[in-house]
Amino acid sequence: MIVVTGAAGFIGSALLGELERMGYGDLIALDDFSVQAKSANCQNKRITQFVERSEFFGWLSDNSKRIQFIFHIGARTRTDEFDEAVLQLLNVEYSQKIWQACADNNIPLIYASSAATYGDGTQGFSDEPASLDSLRPLNPYGNSKHRFDLWVMEQKKTPPFWAGFKFFNVFGPNEYHKGRMASVVFHAYNQIKETGQVALFRSHNEDFANGAQERDFIYVKDVLSVMMHFLVHRKNSGLYNLGTGTCRTFEDLANAVFAAMDLAPEITFVDMPLDIRDKYQYHTQANMDRLVAAGYKLPFTPLEIAVDDYVKNYLISGQYL
């Protein structure tokens, strides 16, 4: 059995599809399946069993000997979530229980961390363990992920193999349900389809021009490739960045969407919402040295090629991974 938490979400459902394509069977999908907006993500996938998030640990105690691997992708991922109790419960305590179950039952584990742990980037984007204590996330979501990373580093009892991945700006198929939290590629495509224009956030930082805010955008297919590598090889446990190592601007990204739609760019700028303005990252760029040293050597998909694939093969037709 391979267990995927967050199975109805963006990356979790894409991961289930990739595992199926790679020939893995006996896939266990774990999530809160009451959210109807996410139901299409799991349709047409060969899933052995759906397990509700609230029932997982009872189920796990009955099935621990049969579990070969756990991908813990599920979390409360909204960067505008300010309920600390919810984030502590779902992103920290639930993750700790999964870690402890994997350690106790000798189950390999991959879990999702986040580049939101890096805050405003003034401490750099190194995933060296020694740099963790200096990080100051900008929002409660980033703080919750950071607290779990710090807790992991303190553990003497570990799964037989484990890897945590600090996802940078992931985009791609299966994010149709995410609403405001969907990628800029997704929003840009839909804005262009409806109005012929893209509205990007105006910069409220004098060091960045409008549209020049920078992100390390990574295509979900590259994220899946990295996770498949570690599923197969199970070497070099640790916490790793998962970006491309290259930052691009939001204007670059918008232009790539227009190009994929065979349209001339028409970009406008709007004020950033007040609730995220003082907690906004203006620059992210993953340092990928440790991931490469751990054995992952494949190149990452260039932004324009990834956006073209996403738009033409998924967004236009509404296809899923």
- Would you please indicate which residues are annotated as catalytic (active-site) residues? 141, 178
The Cα 226–Cα 223 span in angstroms is: 5
Q: What string of H, E and C letters represents the secondary structure of the chain?
A: CEEEECCCCHHHHHHHHHHHHCCCCCEEEEECCCCHHHHHHHCCCCCCEEEEHHHHHHHHHHHHHHCCEEEECCCCCCCCCCCHHHHHHHHHHHHHHHHHHHHHHCCCEEEEEEHHHHCCCCCCCCCCHHHHHHCCCCCHHHHHHHHHHHHHHHCCCCCCCEEEEEECEEECCCCCCCHHHCCHHHHHHHHHHHHCCEEEECCCCCCCCCCCCEECEEEHHHHHHHHHHHHHHCCCCEEEEECCCCCEEHHHHHHHHHHHCCCCCCEEEECCCHHHHCCCCCCCCCCCHHHHHCCCCCCCCCHHHHHHHHHHHHHCCCCCC
Q: How far apart are the first and last CA of the chain?
A: 21
Beta-carbon neighbour count of residue 283 at 10 Å? 19
Tokens encoding 168:
């940078």
